[in-house]
Amino acid sequence: MRTSVAIIGCGPAGLLLAHLLHCEGIDCVVLEARSRDYVEARIRAGVLEQTTVDLLRRVDVDRRLDAEGLVHHGFSILVDGEPLRIDLADLVGRTITIYGQTELTRDLIEAALARGIPILFEANAVALHDIASRAPAVTCRAGDEDVRIDCDFIAGCDGFHGASRSAFPADQLRTFEKVYPFGWLGILADVPPCKEEVIYASHERGFALASMRSKTRSRYYIQVPADEPLANWPDERLWDELEIRLGPRAGSRISRGPALEKSVAPLRSFVAEPMRHGRLFLAGDAAHVVPPTGAKGLNLAASDVAFLADAFARHYRRDDDAALESYAARALARVWKAVRFSWWLTGLTHRFPGTASIDRRIQLAELDYIRSSRAAQMSLAENYAGLPL
């Protein structure tokens, strides 16, 4: 098999890249280790920056997004139950859209198949070859066949545990990591949200988040120790704790229901530099992971592939490789700003074990400063709504 760009990974990053390339008339093949059913059932994030929404409109995969997505003009931070609303539309003229990554992935797969973009599901034993040469290739086992894809470029969009990053020579890759001493215990339930906008709660007992996937499906999280057994949190205990941390105003509006999904997710920051070696380019979680606090993971993946698609288009349309050469630097500049923001917002809203009482007072002072300063609110809103591409 021969193609221009072999894309490894059928998550939002790989799929969006495939659509962007299709719009430019650049052929590609997408490889995915899991089945279609598995990929479409994965429960992930749900906050889209305006730049991500604009990219979905650009590739004409926005019909269900427009019909079912919830446009939010702001969000709130509760400080021991007292609300501090950040008006994104007023402060920076932008909004966010709530639309589950599960639904987005389904839309992108359906549109890809309709457009004839090849996707090889259950492609196992993926291996990358000759990535530093002008003739790289990818091999895998798909069904009962051994498949070889010769290509001009490889886009590694296969996540933190995928094959792409491990294909880098060890002496050509530098990694940075911060592991947080807590995780998020999340519950997904078919109940209406307690508020029409996302709520971050900074509480004496720990962080909490009230979010949603639709007007009838809610997503809640609480901060727990990183090694917390899920068995310690039956549904009723979790609902009780959410009511406490969200305070009487928001907590009293919680509708309880059985969990559709419940899990503990660790929090960490991870960045791999550079995001390119030879003809292999990394994008999304293959290159970087951020805590979910700032809602940046999916949106960073979208900006990565926007840069990458532009670079490929310049290569094929203008015989101009300047954007390919600068891809890693351009993407990493945005990545590190998102890492910084996610670290800052996590530190502002979470309780760290073993810290002194003075640390809580400093948190409260900073939150009070944000409440009283429009400039501070603008900085928060600018980063949360998403920095420009």
What are the residue numbers of the active site? 72, 200, 292, 296, 384
**Cα–Cα dist 316/308, whole Å:** 12
Would you say the C-alpha torsion 297, 261, 235, 247 has a positive or negative sign? positive
**Cα–Cα dist 373/375, whole Å:** 5
The secondary structure of the chain in percent helix, strand, coil, rounded to multiples of 5, reads: 40, 30, 30
| DSSP state letters, 220-283 | EEEEEETT--GGG--HHHHHHHHHHHHHHHHHTTPPP--EEEEEEEEEEEEEEE-SEETTEEE-
Q: Cα-Cα-Cα-Cα dihedral of 238, 240, 241, 246, to 10°? A: 120
Asked if residues 132 and 43 have their Cβ atoms less than 8 Å apart, the reply is: no
Residue (of 139, 290, 22, 269) closest to 14 by Cα position: 22
Structure tokens that stand for 17 in this block: 């890249």
| DSSP state letters, 7-74 | EE--SHHHHHHHHHHHHTT--EEEE-SS-HHHHHH-----EEEHHHHHHHHHTT--HHHHHH-EEESE
Structure tokens that stand for 356 in this block: 């002194």
**Cα–Cα dist 388/384, whole Å:** 11
| Whether residue 225 has a cis bond before it, omega within 30° of 0 | no
Q: Residue 312: CA atoms inside 13 Å, Cβ hemisphere, count?
A: 30
